Structure 1
Amino acid sequence: MRILFVAAEVAPLAKAGGMGDVVGALPKVLHQLGHDVRIFMPYYGFLADKLESPPELIWKGFTMSQDFTVYKTTLPESEIPLYLFEHSAFAPRRIYHGEDEYWRFTLFSNGAAEFAWNYWKPEVIHCHDWHTGMIPVWMKQSEDIATVFTIHNLAYQGPWRSYLEKITWCPDYMRGDNVMAAAVQFASRVTTVSPTYAQQIKTPEYGEKLDGLFNHIKDNLVGILNGIDLDLYNPANDKLLYKTFTKETLIKRIANKIGLQEEAGLEINKNAFLLGMVTRLVEQKGIDLVMQIIDRFMSYTDAQLVILGTGERYYESQLWQIATRFPGRMSVQLLYNDALSRRIYAGSDAFLMPSRFEPCGISQLLAMRYGCIPIVRCTGGLTDTVSFYNPASETGTGYSFDRYDPLDLLTCLIRAWEGFRFKKDWQKLQQRCMSQNFSWYKSAAEYVKIYKSVTGQPAELSKTEQQKLIFFEQAIA
Structure 2
Amino acid sequence: MKKILFAASESVPFIKTGGLADVVGSLPKYFDKKKYDVRVMLPKYLCMKEKWKDLLTYKLHFYMDLNWRRQYVGVLELKHEGITFYFIDNEYYFSGDKPYGNISSDIEKFAFFSKAVLSALPLLDFHPDIIHCHDWQTGLVPIYLDNFRYGNEYYQGIKTVMTIHNLKFQGVWDKKTVRDITGLPEYYFVPDKLEAYRDANYLKGGIVYADRVTTVSNSYAEEIKMPFYGEKLDGLMNARANCLSGIVNGIDYEEFNPATDSNIVRNYSVENFRKEKIKNKIALQKELGLEEDYHKLMIGVVSRLTDQKGFDLVDYVMDELCQDAIQLVVLGTGEERYENMFRHFAWKYPEKVSAQIYYSEPMSHKIYAACDAFLMPSLFEPCGLSQLMSLRYGTVPIVRETGGLKDTVEPYNEFEKTGTGFSFANYNAHEMLGAVRYAEQVYYDKKRDWNKIVERGMKKDFSWKNSAKLYEELYDNM
Instruction: Give the counterpart of 1:434 among 442, 445, 458.
Output: 458
Mapped to 2, the partners of 1:94 and 1:73 lie a distance apart of: 21
Question: Does structure 1 residue 352 correspond to structure 2 residue 375?
Answer: yes
The 3 A distance-change label for structure 1 pair 282 and 69 is same
Aligned 8 A contact 2:4 2:129 in 1: yes
**Counterpart for residue 12 of structure 1:** 13
Alignment partner, residue 73 of structure 1: 78
> Quick one: which of 92, 106, 116 aligns to 2:121?
116
- Tell me, in whole angstroms, the C-alpha distance in 1 between the residues paired with 2:97 and 2:335: 19
CA deviation digits over 1:383-432, x for unaligned, max 9? 11111102332100100000001111111111112221132221111111
1:125-140, aligned counterparts within 5 Å?
A: 125-140=131-146
Q: Which amino acid aligns with 1:95?
A: P
Residues 302 and 364 of structure 2 are in contact (CA less than 8 Å); yes or no, is this contact kept in structure 1? Answer: yes
Residue of 369, 394, 404 corresponding to 2:392? 369
Deviation of residue 215 (structure 1)?
Answer: 0.7
Aligned to 1:146: 159
AA of the residue aligned to 1:44: Y
Identical pairs, percent? 41
**Equivalences, count:** 451
Q: Is the Cα contact below 8 Å between 1:228 and 1:439 reproduced in 2?
A: yes
Amino acid at match of 1:209: K
Distance 1:90 1:334, change over 3 A: farther
The 5 Å alignment of 1:250-289 reads: 250=273, 251-289=275-313
Contact 2:14 2:49 in 1 (8 A): no
**1:175-213, CA deviations, whole angstroms, 9 ceiling, x for partnerless residues?**
122111111100010001111111111111111111111
Q: CA deviation at 1:273?
A: 1.1
Q: Tell me the C-alpha RMSD between the 2 structures.
A: 1.8
**TM superposition shift of 1:151:** 0.3
Counterparts of 1:160-199 in structure 2, within 5 Å, are: 160=173, 162=175, 163-174=177-188, 175-177=193-195, 178-199=201-222
1:297 to 313, 317, 321: 321
What is the letter of the counterpart of residue 169 of structure 2?
Answer: Y
How many Å apart are 1:53 and its aligned residue? Answer: 4.9
Letter in 1 for 2:14: L
Q: Helix, strand or coil for the counterpart of 2:455?
A: helix
1:54 aligns with 2:39: no
Q: Distance in 2 between matches of 1:185 and 1:395?
A: 41
Q: Which moved more, 1:48-57 or 1:324-333?
A: 48-57
| Structure 1, gaps ≥5 residues long | 455-477
Contact residue 11 and residue 23 of structure 1 kept, 8 A: yes
Runs (5+) with no aligned partner, structure 2 = 150-154, 196-200
Assess, with a 3 A threshold, how the Cα gap between structure 1 residues 121 and 264 changes in structure 2: closer, same or farther. Answer: farther
CA distance in 2, matches of 1:132, 1:395: 41
Structure 2 residue matching 1:160: 3-state secondary structure:
strand
1:139/1:146 contact within 8 Å kept = no
Which position in structure 1 is the counterpart of 2:99? 95
Q: Please say if 1:26 is aligned against 2:27.
A: yes
User: Structure 2 counterpart of 1:164, which letter?
Assistant: V
Match of 2:435 among 403, 412, 416: 412
323-332 or 229-238: bigger deviation: 323-332
Distance 1:182 1:336, change over 3 A: same
Q: In structure 2, the residue corresponding to 1:190 is in which secondary structure?
A: strand
Give 1:18 shift: 1.9
TM-aligned CA deviation for residue 168 of structure 1? 1.4
Is the CA contact 1:130–1:158 (under 8 Å) kept in the aligned structure 2?
yes
Task: Map residues 323-338 of structure 1 onto 2, 5 A cutoff.
Answer: 323-338=346-361
Match of 2:152 in 1: none
Describe the shift of the 1:451–1:204 C-alpha distance in structure 2 as closer, same or farther (beyond 3 A): same
Classify 1:346/1:2 alpha carbon distance in 2 versus 1 (closer, same or farther; 3 Å): same
Structure-2-length-normalised TM-score: 0.90
Q: Partners in 2 of 1:33 and 1:283 — Cα distance? A: 44
C-alpha distance in structure 2 between counterparts of 1:50 and 1:312, whole Å:
32
| Counterpart position of 1:388 | 411
Task: Note the C-alpha offset of 1:52.
Answer: 8.8
Question: Once structures 1 and 2 are overlaid, which stretch shifts more, 146-155 or 312-321?
Answer: 312-321
Q: Name the structure 2 match of 1:36.
A: 37
Q: Secondary structure at the match of 2:290?
A: coil
Question: Against the structure 1 CA distance between its residues 113 and 237, is the aligned structure 2 distance closer, same or farther, given a 3 Å change threshold?
Answer: same
1:220 aligns with 2:234: no
Q: 1:42 to 1:411 in 2, by over 3 A?
A: same
| Partners of 1:292 and 1:169 in 2: CA distance | 50
Q: Identify the range of structure 1 (158-167 vs 180-189) with the bigger mean alpha-carbon deviation.
A: 158-167
CA distance in 1, matches of 2:42, 2:96: 15
Q: Does 1:241 align with 2:264?
A: yes
CA distance in 2, matches of 1:358, 1:188: 25
Residue range with higher mean Cα deviation, 245-254 or 329-338: 329-338
Aligned equivalents of 1:115, 1:334: Cα separation in 2: 42
Q: CA deviation at 1:121?
A: 2.5
SS class of match (1:225): coil
1:460 aligns to what?
Answer: none
CA distance in 2, matches of 1:29, 1:68: 30
Is the CA contact (8 Å cut-off) linking 1:154 and 1:208 kept in structure 2?
A: yes
Deviation of 1:217 (Å): 1.0
Counterpart selection for 2:169 from 133, 156, 159? 156
One-letter amino acid matched to 1:144: G
Cα deviation for residue 437 of structure 1 reads 1.2
TM-score calculated relative to the size of structure 1 = 0.90
